[in-house]
Structure 1
Amino acid sequence: MIAILVVTTADVVMRYLLNSPLSWAFDLVVHYLLVAAFFLGFPVALGRGDHIAVDFLARKLPVRLLHAVLFPACCAGAVLLGVMAYYGSLEVISAWRADEVITGVILWPVWLAKLSIPVALWPMSVRLVQIAFAHGATALDSRRFPFEAPKFHVAED
């Protein structure tokens, strides 16, 4: 995010004060930095348990039932993210082999713009499998956990 701020500020200063904008700034920010900031933030949020959750029903369920419901949900999410990561990886490889570029003043490589997607989604898929097993173990025996699953952040009513 700091890189986006610095590049955008430099472009605005160059454009309006010196009448000489940075011709590459828009492509860098839009095709690389925003995509990376968006996708690479997912694993961090998942690891901290910071994703948005609609949990009004979850708070009413018994602990073991809640974990029994979250187990298949996390498994399904892991499969979905794994499929997305796999096809994202194929897109990166395809763009690399075809030597695809984004046309403009600078010929930016497309594979680099697409790389943050599988880089973010593969570890998220693995982490969701780990979380799913934690929920499954807790559903079976709520007194013993193999590891701690991320907690819900409960908003005050």
Structure 2
Amino acid sequence: MNGLSAGLARIETALVAVSAAAMAAIMCIVVLDVVMRYAFAAPLVWSYDVIGLYLVGTVFFFALSDTMQHHGHIALDVFLPYIPHRLRHAAQSLGFAASTLLILAITWLEFREAQSAFLADDRIAAVIPFPTWVAHAVLTLGMGVLALRLLFRTIFHAASAVTGRVMVEVPPPPITANVSREHGE
């Protein structure tokens, strides 16, 4: 892993830690809401709003780039070993370039939404009127870091195609062993 990727990985690790904390917060809030609702007949009026508006987005969008970095997204790699090295990296560079453009567009549009919601002081219509700009900012940050990871892969797959050397992390080979026993034992 080169220095750029390692620096980006540190940001991704921080975001995935926040994602994990948000998941833990969801679980704690749900348990507290259930206890308050059924033991004391006093449910938390804000729980679903906080979970739906802030925490679920944080769990999802803050984990996207780290998942990409660890090759955790779905990939069709059955024929990958049979494609010549330079062609494989060139094709991956083009695919990552297209993805980068799409994710950058989403990031920019969401940034504009966050900015607009912040300036207009947009809030949800609920018992507690939580601001909506925070949810937009979470999406912007998560997608922005994903765009950086995609841009990194675009550039270094292109460099790998040109030089003929692997200059970017590649996913591990697929597991193709024939396991005859139940549950892989």
| Secondary structure in 2 matching 1:102 | coil
Query: Which residue identity does 1:116 align to in structure 2?
Result: V
Q: Which moved more, 1:88-97 or 1:48-57?
A: 48-57
Aligned equivalent of 1:52, options 66, 69, 74: 74
Residue-pair matches, total: 155
**Residue equivalent to 1:110:** 132
Query: Which residue identity does 1:52 align to in structure 2?
Result: I
Which 5+ residue runs of structure 2 have no aligned equivalent?
1-22, 178-185
What's the CA shift for 1:84?
0.6
1:42 matched to 2:64? The reply is yes
What's the CA shift for 1:54?
1.7
**Residue equivalent to 2:37:** 15
RMSD of Structure 2 on Structure 1 (CA): 1.6
What's the CA shift for 1:138?
1.2
- In the TM superposition, what whole-angstrom CA distance separates every residue of 1:94-120 from its partner, at most 9, and x where no partner exists? 101111101111110010121111101
User: Following the alignment from structure 1 to structure 2, what is the Cα–Cα distance between the partners of residues 131 and 95?
Assistant: 32
TM-score (norm 2): 0.78
Which 5+ residue runs of structure 1 have no aligned equivalent?
none
**Residue equivalent to 2:5:** none
What's the CA shift for 1:152?
4.6
What's the CA shift for 1:56?
1.7
What's the CA shift for 1:155?
4.1
Conserved in 2, the CA contact under 8 Å of 1:49 and 1:153? no
TM-score (norm 1): 0.91
Trace 1:71-90 onto structure 2 (pairs within 5 A): 71-90=93-112
Query: Which residue identity does 1:37 align to in structure 2?
Result: V
User: Following the alignment from structure 1 to structure 2, what is the Cα–Cα distance between the partners of residues 90 and 137?
Assistant: 33
User: Following the alignment from structure 2 to structure 1, what is the Cα–Cα distance between the partners of residues 80 and 170?
Assistant: 14
**Residue equivalent to 2:174:** 154
What's the CA shift for 1:63?
2.1
| Secondary structure in 2 matching 1:108 | coil
What's the CA shift for 1:153?
5.8
| Secondary structure in 1 matching 2:92 | helix
| Secondary structure in 2 matching 1:125 | helix
1:133 matched to 2:155? The reply is yes
User: Following the alignment from structure 2 to structure 1, what is the Cα–Cα distance between the partners of residues 67 and 31?
Assistant: 27
Change (3 A) 1:153 1:104: farther
- In the TM superposition, what whole-angstrom CA distance separates every residue of 1:75-134 from its partner, at most 9, and x where no partner exists? 111111111100000000010111110111111001012111110111211221111111
